[in-house]
Chains A and B, each alone.
Chain A
Amino acid sequence: MSEPILQARGLVKDYWMGAARLRVLHGVGLDVGRGEFLCILGPSGSGKSTLLHLMGLLDRPTEGQVLFEGEDAFARPKRWRDRLRNEAIGFVFQFYHLMPDLSVLENTLLPAMIRTPLVRWPLVRGRERRRAEEVLGDLGLRDRKGHLPTELSGGERQRAAIARALVHRPRVLFADEPTGNLDTATGGEIMRVLARLNRKGLTVVMVTHDERLARQAHRLLHLVDGRLLQRP
């Protein structure tokens, strides 16, 4: 494995249901190499989405560390993690999670709009727009950029979500069941897109319960009841 870009160390995550504690992850540890396509496979409820959220810095672990390029992410201020998610991490969700009130192009521009103050926007708008159109064009959505997400098919929505995840040239792409809501053919198409991006050097961490899809990854990890069955 190449030099790790992301490392999880003893990740524990508890949820509280009233007074009852539910431990979803039991000390998970793994390394993700730069340019690797890692797939975490597990049945529903095994904790794979929780693990992805912790590694993607969307949630804080009860115990353990996440090292991003060697930096302990949860030892740094929240602002640092927010900035990292905005500039170095991309997310693709099972249910697309596009903002319904924004067009495909605006959804794709969101990361740029989040980091740019209004006063600077006129200066960078053209460049950001060209970049967003380029990514949308690569994903075959150039003609759909003015449409609202509700006007797109499932596959188009997921491609729009991938465009939004890629537009800022992330170093790691997290995909949470990216084909879970799609038919087989469209799911295959999305997987081909992810594989193509990985071949270009993008690190991809995907969770799924579909073994057939998982086989396309460089490395496969099984997560059962919050524990990794195979250590890297």
Chain B
Amino acid sequence: MWDGWLDIPGVMAALAGGVLVAAGLAALILVTPIYKHIVCLRYLFAGWKAVVPLISALPAALGVFLLILVFAIMDGFVRETREMTRGTLADVIVDAHLEGMPYYDEFIQRITRIEGVEAATPIIQTYAIVRVKPRVEAVKPLVRPCLIIGVRPEQKAEMGRFAQFLVRQTVAGLKAQEKTRMDTARYLEHLRAAGYPPEALLDVPADLRRDGAASRAGAIAGLGIIGTPLPVLVTESALEGAGARVLLGVLTGGAVVVLLLVWQASRRYHGRRGWRRAALAWLLAAGALATEAALIPVYPVREERRQVIDVPLLDYGDDILVSTIPVRPSGALEKEVGGLPKVSERLLVLVDAFRSGYWEADSTHLYVDFATAQQMAGMEGRPAEGDQAAVPARASQVHVKVHDPAQAAAAVEKIKEAWREFLHERPEAGLLQLSINTWETQQRMILKVVEIERNITALMLGLMFLGFGVVIALISYVMAYIKGRDVGILKALGARDAGVGSLFLGYGFIIGLLGTALGMAGALVMIHYLDPIEIWVNRMLDVDVFPREMYYFEHIPRHVSAPWCVGVGVAVLAFSTLASMAGGLLAALRQPVESLRYE
């Protein structure tokens, strides 16, 4: 049930923390006099007063609900964005920009000898203009800027999630989510079994070869390059009746909670028979709700929904004309005989489309074979000719995969050191301005923006607790004031000032506990049923709560962080306990004779 979005290591940490906090609390509760617990619970749950803590717990419940729900969605957004970004790159990127790095294979050999490095592959990157003629006659040729990325497909497939983002060469039967989340090595095994060996991902298969295409290289284009956003009707599965059943389930749970709350009241104020009658009535009501919920038929329905998606305007096997301007090793542009920059044109064959969900990659990336890209960028090696010395082949980047992604930053330092040593041995590589960074550093702008957005949202929602704190403080103060005579009685019987004061802290703590439990349960149920609820809301209100084309996710992303949940719970408990110090202080400082003198 929790697979996919519940952070398992986090759960363990949260459980350990929770056990520690619970053990501390239990010890505290065990060594305090029993009157505090009995009186506090009686204040909370006896008679009509049972409504007061329930109502006071509602702001806390709402706060916890929103903090967990919104943070889960924002955190899911952050994680999926990171996953997509990382999937198009590698753990560490050695960037030689358009100047190119000579002797890259030698350097790669050196890199792979570094401890912790699993693999490395050279990459070519150069800018280009793509022209494609859409299949639809009425549509003019598409002319778009793009980034040519030359890869060795068998190495690049191991590096990130490159193979998992392909549209045609994919493992049939896997949903997009399963596909992008699956372990890369496992996915490649599946891919091989499906007839798509990683080394042949850029090959043009026989069924896609058309006239004159025999000698052309294959290309994989981002869906944004070869497509256009169009409104289409998409079929979507929904569970009819699920929303109503969840709603009734929540009401049933609420009825049971209220039953527990009125238990004391009914027992105390109406005698045993009255309590039995009340319990029976509540049980019947809860049973009726549960039965009604169970009787609501839940069945799958398929619905058509209007959605704007990138529709490819080309078929696989169609031509793509790519124009580049090669750059010489000196950094100068290749020139024609007349001195004009030389434009290199290459006709490629579309063999697949690429969709990572990362907009920048999908709208600009055009993957071609490494050697082809090298020629297009002018980075291929040239033998010595006449008085001209031989020119070594160059690569724009080296992508590095490390065993433990958490150690990527340490790998960066080792690679920098390796480069210095390499230069010492190979001074002819020249004084290149290499940028060696982790993928996170390279993409920090986009990641930072999303993370800041998440944190600001959490902060703003957290401010709601100020209002909640005021409510708790007022309720606890009023309770301590109303119960002034009880305070006097307890002190007259020997209760200590601090003990009587802490009774009201317990009052606030239990309100916080109720709110946390209600809010957390509500949020977790909501997160679990987010997709059916979204579809239900869309249908009921005729809106599109989460437009896929805007966010590029196929479902609302979510990630429940157990430490966050525990943190929110602990913060609410601490906050409500602190806020109730208003009542606690009043009770502790009150002289018993003040309240005992008169009725």
Residues of A bordering B, CB below 8 Å: 49-50, 53, 56, 58-59, 78-79, 82-87, 91, 93-95, 97-103, 106, 110-111, 113-119, 121, 148, 164, 181
Q: What CA separation (Å) do A118 and B592 show in the bound complex? A: 24
**Given A58-B592, A86-B494, A148-B269 in contact, is the A117-B32 Cβ separation under 8 Å?**
yes
**Given A85-B494, A97-B488 in contact, is the A102-B38 Cβ separation under 8 Å?**
yes
17 further A-B pairs in the complex, CB-CB below 8 A; given A58-B592, A97-B492? A79-B496, A82-B494, A82-B495, A85-B492, A85-B493, A86-B494, A95-B598, A97-B489, A98-B489, A99-B39, A110-B493, A113-B33, A113-B38, A114-B493, A117-B31, A148-B268, A148-B269
* B591 contact set on A, CB distance < 8 A: 59
Q: List 15 A-B contacts (CB under 8 A).
A: A58-B492, A59-B592, A85-B492, A97-B485, A97-B596, A99-B486, A101-B42, A102-B38, A102-B39, A113-B38, A114-B33, A114-B35, A114-B499, A118-B33, A148-B268
Q: What CA separation (Å) do A101 and B44 show in the bound complex? A: 10
A-B pairs with the 6 shortest C-beta distances? A86-B494, A113-B35, A119-B30, A95-B599, A101-B42, A85-B494
* B592 contact set on A, CB distance < 8 A: 58-59
Is B209's beta carbon under 8 Å from chain A?
A: no
Q: What CA separation (Å) do A79 and B495 show in the bound complex? A: 9
Q: What CA separation (Å) do A115 and B499 show in the bound complex? A: 11
Within 8 A of A (CB), among B20-38: 29-35, 37-38
Q: What CA separation (Å) do A111 and B495 show in the bound complex? A: 8
* A106 contact set on B, CB distance < 8 A: 38
* B489 contact set on A, CB distance < 8 A: 97-99, 110
Chain B: CB-nearest residue to A120: B34
Q: What CA separation (Å) do A86 and B47 show in the bound complex? A: 29
* A91 contact set on B, CB distance < 8 A: 492-493
**Most chain B C-beta atoms within 10 Å of own C-beta, residue among A79, A86, A97, A111:** A97
Q: How many residues of B contact A (CB 8 A)?
A: 36
Q: What CA separation (Å) do A84 and B485 show in the bound complex? A: 21
Shortest B40–chain A CB gap in Å is 10
Chain A: CB-nearest residue to B495: A114
Chain A: CB-nearest residue to B488: A97
Shortest A78–chain B CB gap in Å is 8
**Given A53-B593, A97-B488 in contact, is the A118-B494 Cβ separation under 8 Å?**
no
* B39 contact set on A, CB distance < 8 A: 99, 101-102
* A181 contact set on B, CB distance < 8 A: 599
* B494 contact set on A, CB distance < 8 A: 82-87, 111, 114-115
Q: What CA separation (Å) do A226 and B476 show in the bound complex? A: 38
Q: What CA separation (Å) do A121 and B33 show in the bound complex? A: 9
